[in-house]
Amino acid sequence: MGEKGENAMLDPADMRARAQRCRELLRIAVRPEVKEQLREWAEEFEEDAAALEGGTRRGGADAE
């Protein structure tokens, strides 16, 4: 995606921008399964941004 490439490490601002884009698309999506996927991605991008800012990975220590 973009110049950074699909596998490049994204910073918190990039993650939040992707979450916002998912929320924008969610407003115009029609199919329930698409809406649900966009909702999930937005939440995951926000969690990833917070984890990057806090120096932890999504899921934290409790995920193990």
Domain locations in the chain as residue ranges: 12-54
In this predicted model, what pLDDT tens digit does every residue of 10-54 receive, in sequence order? 899 999 999 999 999 999 999 999 999 999 999 999 999 999 998
Task: Give me the half-sphere count of Cα atoms (radius 13 Å) on the Cβ side of residue 35.
Answer: 6
pTM greater than the 0.75 cutoff: no
Cβ contacts of 19 within 8 Å, gap of 6 or more = 41, 42, 43, 45, 46, 49
Report the pLDDT value the prediction gives residue 10, as an integer from 0 to 100: 84
Taking the C-alpha atoms of residue 47 and residue 16, their distance in angstroms, rounded to an integer, is 9
